[in-house]
Amino acid sequence: MTTEMTPHEDLGATAYAVPRPDPHTWPGLDRVPSGPRTRVSALVAKRLFAAAISRLPVTVHGADGPGSTLGLGGPEMTIHRPDEFFARFGRDALIGFGEAYLTGAWDEGPSGDLGGFLAVLSAEMPRLVPEPLQKLRAAVVRRPPALHRNTEKQTRGNIAHHYDLSNDLFATFLDPTLSYSSALFEARLDAVRDTVGPFLQAAPPVPGADLEAAQARKIERLLDQTGVGRGTRVLEIGTGWGELAIRAAARGATVHSVTLSSEQQALAQRRIDEAGHTEAVTVELCDYRAVQGTYDAVVSVEMIEAVGHEYWSTYFRTIDRVLAPGGRVGIQAITMPHDRMLATRRTYTWINKYIFPGGFLPSVQVLDEITRADTALRMTGRLSMGQHYAETLRQWDVTATAAAARIGALGFDETFRRMWHFYLEYSRAGFASAYLDVNQLLFTREDAR
């Protein structure tokens, strides 16, 4: 059935003006779903939205027009064009919710705290929809497109969609290490009982703490955990912009780093050369599945999220294959609760559509289960630091927002800047609410099979 669409401007003039998305850059986003099916789904969405918001500590302005409010009071949301908002939300659920932000149908309201508002929703995510209706989830949510499946043929395109955007873009908001992953701010580490294995929990960081120092601390801890030192042969899966490889080489290790981002490869190699480690580090444009050789340590920082759940076993079997006897594996992974992982693993999300095609987050439990079932690797250490990612993302967003003019000068339009702000704050909300976590995981290898 073909979806009827209505031009963006037809859903009500308002003093709140966001430029209409360019139809060439943002195909389909400049038009709003319409027609009988949309009218019905919008009505259902409006009722479910009102029921959920009315019991949450938030304030929503404008859901029933100017002057109306919903919620128990708290972080704010202002709906500028309710007809458009509920049309998008009703037809495309959370994808439509995010798209309505991109077009300006709603925003964070007078408080300017988008992450705070989204964190309340994130904390209630499993309960936002009444339980009887959750059984209809499979009939409502969209499935990931076949082109997003992370086969060897398709993975490079999925990676390029995000990481090849522009090195200059990432440099506008990252710290000087160019680390695009959670930092570890100075904090107390508490031992916590856990069913998976030894578990440390990082206490929440101090807001505004030094991000560059925290990124260095994160990397050095991962290198310490995997025993990287003079003479160590290191495989890095996912190069980033080279900081981990530089620090491993500074310890006297030799590093083989693999990436599928040509933009990252070029800048990482330049930074490695400038740091004087050209002979110690090789940066190869290579799929992790094609890696050859033997390594004393394998490290991978927030790359497993791009592997896809169909290939988690392949990922770990590859690591098992190249790891030397007595070797160690250090993986920093963004994770979600196991039950939510099972419920959402075949769901096409706003993040998939706009940010990370083919991406999906594992649970700690599933990584433990897969390595036990398919490899000789065993999870022997875990550090949970989700609140540290919330602070990392907050600092990134503050910096990116301040650099809006520079980002615009790079050729990224207002719709992109709204998308980027929503992405960073949406992600921050997940960690702030503990719906998401990030863990440094240590695996050791059982050499006797």
pLDDT tens-digit map of 236-247? 999 999 999 999
pLDDT tens digit string along 77-125? 999 999 999 999 999 999 999 999 999 999 998 888 999 999 999 998 8
Evaluate if residue 15 carries a pLDDT over 50.
no
Separation CA 241–CA 228 (nearest Å): 19
Evaluate if residue 181 carries a pLDDT over 50.
yes
Does the domain spanning 147-445 belong to CATH 3.20.20.140?
no
Q: Among 140-149, 179-188, 240-249, 256-265, name the one with the lowest average pLDDT.
A: 140-149
Q: What is the pLDDT, as a whole number, of residue 1?
A: 34
Q: What is the enclosing helix (H) or strand (E) of 167?
A: helix 167-171
Mean of per-residue pLDDT scores for the chain: 91
13 CB-near residues (< 8 Å, 6+ apart): none
Q: How much is the average pLDDT of 170-197?
A: 90
Q: Which residues of 103-131 are buried (b: 16+ CB within 10 A; e: fewer)?
A: bbbbbbbeeebbbbbbbbbbbbeeebbee
Confidence of residue 164 (pLDDT cuts 50, 70, 90): confident
Q: What is the pLDDT, as a whole number, of residue 303?
A: 96
Q: What is the pLDDT, as a whole number, of residue 337?
A: 95
Q: How much is the average pLDDT of 306-321?
A: 96
Q: What is the pLDDT, as a whole number, of residue 135?
A: 53
Which of 223, 194, 199 lies closest to 381, judged by CA? 199
Domain ranges in the chain are 4-141, 147-445
Q: What is the pLDDT, as a whole number, of residue 198?
A: 79
Confidence of residue 13 (pLDDT cuts 50, 70, 90): very low
Evaluate if residue 210 carries a pLDDT over 60.
yes
Q: What is the pLDDT, as a whole number, of residue 17?
A: 76
Q: How much is the average pLDDT of 158-184?
A: 94
Q: What is the pLDDT, as a whole number, of residue 3?
A: 43
pLDDT tens digit string along 286-312? 999 999 999 999 999 999 999 999 999
Q: What is the pLDDT, as a whole number, of residue 149?
A: 78
Asked whether the beta carbons of 164 and 262 are under 8 A apart, the reply is yes
Separation CA 143–CA 175 (nearest Å): 36
Q: What is the pLDDT, as a whole number, of residue 136?
A: 52
pLDDT tens digit string along 407-438? 999 999 999 999 999 999 999 999 999 999 99
CA 247 from chain centre, in angstroms, equals 25
Evaluate if residue 132 carries a pLDDT over 80.
no
